[in-house]
Structure 1
Amino acid sequence: MSLHHNNESGTTSYKQRILVTGANGQVGSELKELLGKEDFEVFFLDRKQLPLEQTLIIQDILGMYEPDIIIHAAAYTAVDKAESEPELADAVNHLATEEIAQYCRLHGAKLLAISTDYVFDGHSSEPLTEDSATAPLNIYGLTKWKGEQAIQKWAPESVIIRTSWVYAAYGNNFVKTMIRLMHEREELSVVHDQIGSPTYARDIAQAIVDIIKAATWHPGIYHYSNEGQLSWYDFAVAIRDLIGATCHISPISTSQYPTPAKRPAYSLLDKTKIKDTFGVKVPSWQESLSTCIDRIK
């Protein structure tokens, strides 16, 4: 525990201890900035400090920090690579998450974990709610879904946030890849038949901070992505226009761009529940993309 004595009044204040996994990831990097401004004691653990594939030591490592709240933002996110590394993806996304959930149950810590739109099969034609049927199409989605199941089994008082198409000024992501390719090439082809909405990591990090600071903890599954609906092709065109590139972008179908892992054709998330429950702000994808590109510049 971390007690701070206030000598004037003789009272003792207790700072909540927060532990964040995936310290160097897109959301973790944004949380570093945002939580640094808050009155918490925060520990950011990266891959070296918390090797998630080494599931047997996870609870011991967590015990060294005695967190009140764990924000589990780390994951195995190489979607295509997961098809050829199913054991590693399962260890990180499922078994490690189970260890974290068990730790929270044993020690009374709160857990907020990030999941994905890839738990869905993409056959819907309406925005997906938290109650929509799950049916992952690929190993990554399956391992994340198993992670959700483990959390609900061991730590049912947790908050799980499913998100989609995450990007940031940090790390590797679609936005930064497109900016690089648009400077290198005169032409690009991008799929036009996968529909969803991107999520600026800064926005979901802010939503997480708002949830942690909320007066009441409301456990359950929530959906968060930026507002609006678009395809990857639309997203690429918007990026090109914002950076003033002249690269020609051709829309192609998923079948013309085969990948090891199948992607859901439609994974637009319904954000009503998170807005109604916690009052979080959900900016439009256009506004957030513009903000992020200004930061990258």
Structure 2
Amino acid sequence: MKILITGATGQLGADCLEECRARGHEVYGVSSHMFPLSDESAMRAVLDEFEPDAILHAAAYTAVDRAEDEPDLCRLVNAAGTEILARLAQERDVKFLYISTDYVFPGTGNAPYETDAPTGPRNVYGASKLAGEEAVEARLERFFIVRISWVFGARGTNFVKTMLELAKTHKSLSIVADQVGSPTYTRDLAPLLADMIASEKYGLYHATNEGFCSWAEFAAEIFRTAGKDVAVTSVPSRAHPTKAVRPKNSRLSKRSLDAAGFERLPPWQDAVARFIAELGQG
């Protein structure tokens, strides 16, 4: 299979590129400088040259707080750019896998969100990703939409790397405890996405590592696993105000994975341990 992967230099895209190549697929990874999501002619030229059988769309504007100040740019990439790419995929009748987010939900209650639960994003980023979902669903029949959350991987910045860096200079940290979700390790997610895109099991999915935690619990596990002597104090969201509102409930139900016969990802604690070992800090 010939697979075009957008965002190929990012945390998730890079691991998807590696995973798909390891499976023998012909893979073409593109990033924003060669495949700007605002430039239809450039995107069309790449697709005409490579002629993919499938597109794994991992590229996105992900600066959640900055998006509140740059809403037009965020929507240009995540909504308009995805609509263009979905239309180009429709013209070519290729499979399409779109990475979305827990932020499409309002974050109320305590129960895990099912894939068909009412959406209601509370920030610009979440609204832009939901618009991307809607563009994919409106244009395509052969699509996968995969909502993920709290992503960490070897490339770029993420919560795990930030906590390990802070551990060098802090003996105690106050971390938000009233936002609950699931970390997602890109090395665990990439094989699942490779399984999906090679299948005909189209639809909407939630995919994160198993189990739920607060950011404070996540941080405490990072320090415990890495052997760092850092005390974690649990605080409410109001103690660390952010420009973009974060959902307090980011729990995602994995029943869609079960129904389609896909394996769930390993527990998040196990993923943290393997990632810290990968970084050489265990």
TM-score (norm 1): 0.91
Map of 1:139 onto structure 2: 124
Equivalent in 243, 247, 258 of residue 241 of structure 2: 258
Matches within 5 A, 1:113-152: 113-152=98-137
1:287 aligns with 2:270: yes
Match of 1:72 in 2: 57
Q: Deviations over 1:208-249 (max 9, x none)?
A: 1111233xx122110001111110000000000011111222
Cα displacement string for residues 141-174 of structure 1 (whole angstroms, at most 9, x for unaligned residues): 0000000000011113210000000001221100
Residue identity matched to 2:150: W
One of 178, 183, 197 as aligned partner of 2:168: 183
Deviates more, 1:248-257 or 1:191-200: 248-257
* In structure 2, C-alpha distance between the alignment counterparts of 1:80 and 1:203, rounded to whole Å: 27
Contact 1:113 1:161 in 2 (8 A): yes
1:236 equivalent in structure 2? 219
Match of 1:141, as an amino acid? Answer: G
C-alpha distance in structure 2 between counterparts of 1:175 and 1:199, whole Å? 11
3-state SS of paired residue (1:190):
strand
Quote how far apart the aligned CAs of 1:56 are.
5.2
**Contact 1:94 1:147 (8 Å CA) reproduced:** yes
Distance in structure 2 (CA, Å) of the matches to 1:192 and 1:56 = 46
Verify the 8 A CA contact 1:104 1:111 in the aligned structure 2. yes
Q: Residues 124, 156 of structure 1: CA spacing in aligned structure 2 closer, same or farther, 3 A cutoff?
A: farther
Greater displacement, 198-207 / 274-283: 274-283
- Distance between the aligned counterparts of 2:205 and 2:164, measured in 1? 31
1:36 is aligned with what amino acid? R
Q: Percent identity of the aligned residues?
A: 40
- Mapped contact 1:53–1:88 kept (Cα < 8 A): no
Could you tell me how far 1:55 is from its partner in structure 2?
4.5
2:210 equivalent in structure 1: 227
CA distance in 2, matches of 1:25, 1:237: 26
Question: Structure 1 208/77 Cα, relative in aligned 2: closer, same or farther at 3 Å?
Answer: same
Please list every run of at least 4 consecutive aligned residues from structure 1 whose deviation after the TM superposition is greater than 3 angstroms. 53-57
Aligned alpha-carbon RMSD (Å): 1.2
- Structure 2 counterpart of 1:35, from 6, 13, 20: 20
Contact 1:58 1:96 in 2 (8 A): no
Q: Measure how far apart 1:278 and its partner are.
A: 3.6
Structure 1 partner of 2:66: 81
Residue of 81, 89, 94 corresponding to 1:109: 94
Distance 2:261 2:3 in 1: 19
Q: Which residue identity is paired with 1:129?
A: E
May I ask how many residue pairs the two structures share in their alignment? 280
Task: Give the alignment's TM-score, normalised by structure 2.
Answer: 0.96
Structure 1 counterpart of 2:5: 20
Consecutive unaligned residues of structure 1, counting only runs of 5 or more, are: 1-15
- Correspondence for 2:30: 45
Structure 2 unmatched runs, 5+: none
* 1-structure distance, mates of 2:115, 2:3: 26
